[in-house]
Structure 1
Amino acid sequence: QDEYTILPHSFVIGIHGYVLVYSVTSLRSFQVVKTLHNKLYESWGQTRMPVVLVGNKADLSPQSREVRTDEGKKLAESWGAIFLESSAKETQVTQGIFTKIIEEIDRLDNSYGRSSGCRLM
């Protein structure tokens, strides 16, 4: 896919943070997430953008994995992002993903000297 179909410009304007999700059972989805991150990074023009990287389907058998946990952690670390593994079956982890992205948006906004007005209670 070319760069315009993989990430339309409207997906970047006015967005404060991203949750990028790949399947731990698909190396291809892991590669697509890398491409998406690169496009987002180019569009943002900042050194840091709020990102949570999520490896989904973590509840499936180890034999079905194509992406190891340490590979996801390493990628997130290279981006300065938060890393989590989850399963759609785990409601608490799924809710935690959204809490993490809100915290990351707030943290980075404050580090740039502005308040997002977003508060967690």
Structure 2
Amino acid sequence: MAPPRDRKLAIMGYRSVGKSSITIQFVDNQFVESYDPTIENTFTRQFKLNNQEYRLHIVDTAGQDEYSLFPDSYSLDIHGYILVYSVTSAKSFEVVKVIHDKLLDMVGRIKIPIVLVGNKTDLHLERKVSTEEGQKLAQTWNAIFLETSAKHNLDVQAIFKGVIMEIERQDGNLPEEKKCIVS
């Protein structure tokens, strides 16, 4: 069997959108109710996809805002990005756009493996950002889009599967997805 592929991922977004909750749900299969602002943590988890073992190193970043300066480490040796906003916060949705633009500038490439995540769907009565808005934004970035609830472990695995598939596709290890148009 092939040795595990090391992949380093950065999970980024505005403060309190659930970056750590998503990460801990994926790594430890638990939801942490209490909120402590993250400075920066790195988590590791083995993950198998398409008969290939991956060793994921997930950098859980501090919450960013539109004025945050990103450390160079957010562009060096990072294979893929998970950009998170809360569906209950229009501000977090605006900030994720700024983060995306800064990432492209910093990385110096037009296309980077990204999954856009609208978190906190369990708070549907407080929703401020529609599914359609998220889908539209992801489409303009040519990124994968998912809505999730870290609390209910809804599609948390799919986030990491999606970013790995995007990395592999851009590395030439998977064929480009065929866009099917039916008329």
Work out the percentage of aligned pairs sharing the same amino acid.
51
Matched letter for residue 70 of structure 1: E
1:49 and 1:21 map into 2 onto residues whose CA distance is: 16
Report the structure, 1 or 2, having the larger helix content.
1
* C-alpha RMSD of the superposition: 1.7
Report the structure, 1 or 2, having the larger strand content.
2
Matched, 1:78 2:137: no
Mean CA deviation greater in 30-39 or 84-93: 84-93
Matched, 1:16 2:79: yes
Give 1:105's match in structure 2, choosing from 133, 157, 167. 167
Mean CA deviation greater in 102-111 or 86-95: 86-95
1:13 and 1:72 map into 2 onto residues whose CA distance is: 27
State the 4+ residue runs in structure 1 displaced beyond 6 angstroms: none
1:15 and 1:72 map into 2 onto residues whose CA distance is: 24
Mean CA deviation greater in 90-99 or 50-59: 90-99
- Residue 25 of structure 1 corresponds to 88
1:17 and 1:26 map into 2 onto residues whose CA distance is: 24
The number of residues matched between the two structures is 109
- TM-score w.r.t. the length of structure 1 is 0.83
- State the Cα deviation string for residues 14-41 of structure 1 (Å, max 9, x = none): 1011000000000111111101000001
2:142 and 2:66 map into 1 onto residues whose CA distance is: 26
CA contact (8 A) 2:66 2:95 kept: no
Helix, strand or coil at the partner of 1:41: helix
Q: In the superposition, relative to structure 1, how do residues 2 and 88 fare at CA in structure 2: closer, same or farther (>3 Å)?
A: closer
Unaligned runs of 5+ in 1: 112-121
CA contact (8 A) 1:73 1:83 kept: yes
1:46 and 1:9 map into 2 onto residues whose CA distance is: 15
Unaligned runs of 5+ in 2: 1-64, 174-183
Larger CA Rg, structure 1 vs 2: 2
Matched letter for residue 103 of structure 1: M
Residues 1-121 of structure 1 aligned to structure 2 (within 5 Å): 5-61=68-124, 63-91=125-153, 93-110=155-172
Q: By how many angstroms is 1:2 displaced?
A: 6.9
- TM-score w.r.t. the length of structure 2 is 0.56
CA contact (8 A) 2:66 2:98 kept: no
